[in-house]
Structure 1
Amino acid sequence: MDSIMKSHFEHLEAKDKSLQLEAFQHIINATKEKVDWAYEVWDQLIGWLTDPDNHRRARAAQFLAGLAISDPDKRMLRDFPALWEVTKDSKFVTARHSLQSIWKVGLAGPKQKEMVLTHIIDRFKNGINEKHHTLIRYDMIVGLKKLYDEDKDEYIREIAMELIELEKDSKYRKKYLSAWK
């Protein structure tokens, strides 16, 4: 990892919130492409998934989701359950930020995509009693759309449409469909 990227990771812990945000954005932007430093931070990020600081948990989840494309050893297949757990975080904002990034794991390969889809389908169908379940469902549908836009796999569109059809409330069904316009 070059010194600039190292400094971004250090700046995540800075007292200055604007410095933290800038560092966060640089790391997020870097993970949009394959990087050669994923394993230099992987274990630290896995540890952060259960950190007492909810900001660390959210950042770790978002970074790991992005780093999934830079994971030739397929560690994500082993570590995904810990990442998915953060999408159910007690701090709703942390859970949401994590859930909004989870689709990126599906870009890493067929097994990773199937794993993400399986978890999303299960949660959409069985998460009706979760607090803010309509927002969670919306985030998952938006994630499927983003994955579809990158992957162009019609199977993803079919899954999204089937899930949207499960929504009983027409207001929410319409909202979910709007993500696919």
Structure 2
Amino acid sequence: MDSTIQTYFENLDSTDKNLQFEAFNYIISVTKEKVDWSYEVWDKLKADLTHKGNHQRSRAAQFLANLAISDPEKRIVNDFPNIWKVTYDPKFVTARHTLQTIWRVGLAGPEQREMVIHHLSDRFINCKEEKNCTLIRFDIIQCLKNLYDEVGIEEIKHLALDLIEKEEDLKYRKKYKTVWK
């Protein structure tokens, strides 16, 4: 791992919030493409999924979701349940940031894509009793749209539109449909 990326990871723990923010944004941007250092940070990120600090949990989940494309060993398949747990984090902002990024795991390959789609679909159907259900559903529809835009697989679009039709409240059904316009 080059010293630049190492410095950005170190800056995540800085007391300077601006340095933290800059480091987070830099790491997110570089991990949108394949990197050759994913396994140098993987275990630390995996451990941070259960960190006492919600910022660390959120960052770890988002970074791992992005690093899935840089994971030729498919570690993400075994580690996905731990990332998915963060979508249920007690801090809703942490859960939501994780949920909004988790679709990126689906860019790593067909097995990973099926896993993500299955979890998103199941959550959409079964989140009715969760606090903030409508936001969760909106984020799921947005995730499916993001994934569809990247991979162009029509079944993803059909699934999303089918899920939208399952929404009983017409106001929210209409809101979810705006994602696909």
Q: TM-score, normalised by structure 1?
A: 0.99
Matched, 1:88 2:88: yes
Q: Deviations over 1:93-138 (max 9, x none)?
A: 0000000000000000000000000001111111110000000000
- For residues 50 and 180 of structure 1, the distance between their equivalents in structure 2, rounded to whole angstroms, comes to 34
Question: Which blocks of at least 5 consecutive residues in structure 2 are unaligned?
Answer: none
Match of residue 5 from structure 1: 5
- For residues 75 and 108 of structure 2, the distance between their equivalents in structure 1, rounded to whole angstroms, comes to 11
Deviation at 1:151, TM superposition (A): 0.4
Deviation at 1:157, TM superposition (A): 0.1
Match of residue 16 from structure 2: 16
Match of residue 34 from structure 2: 34
Number of equivalenced pairs? 181
- For residues 126 and 21 of structure 1, the distance between their equivalents in structure 2, rounded to whole angstroms, comes to 34
What one-letter code is carried by the residue in structure 2 that aligns with 1:128? K
Match of residue 172 from structure 1: 172
1:1-181 equivalences in 2 (<5 Å): 1-181=1-181
Question: Which blocks of at least 5 consecutive residues in structure 1 are unaligned?
Answer: none
Deviation at 1:14, TM superposition (A): 0.4
Q: 3-state DSSP class of the match of 2:14?
A: coil
Q: TM-score, normalised by structure 2?
A: 0.99
What one-letter code is carried by the residue in structure 1 that aligns with 2:22? E
Q: Deviations over 1:27-59 (max 9, x none)?
A: 000111000000000000000000000000000
What one-letter code is carried by the residue in structure 2 that aligns with 1:162? D
Q: 3-state DSSP class of the match of 1:179?
A: helix
**Runs of 4+ residues deviating >4 angstroms:** none
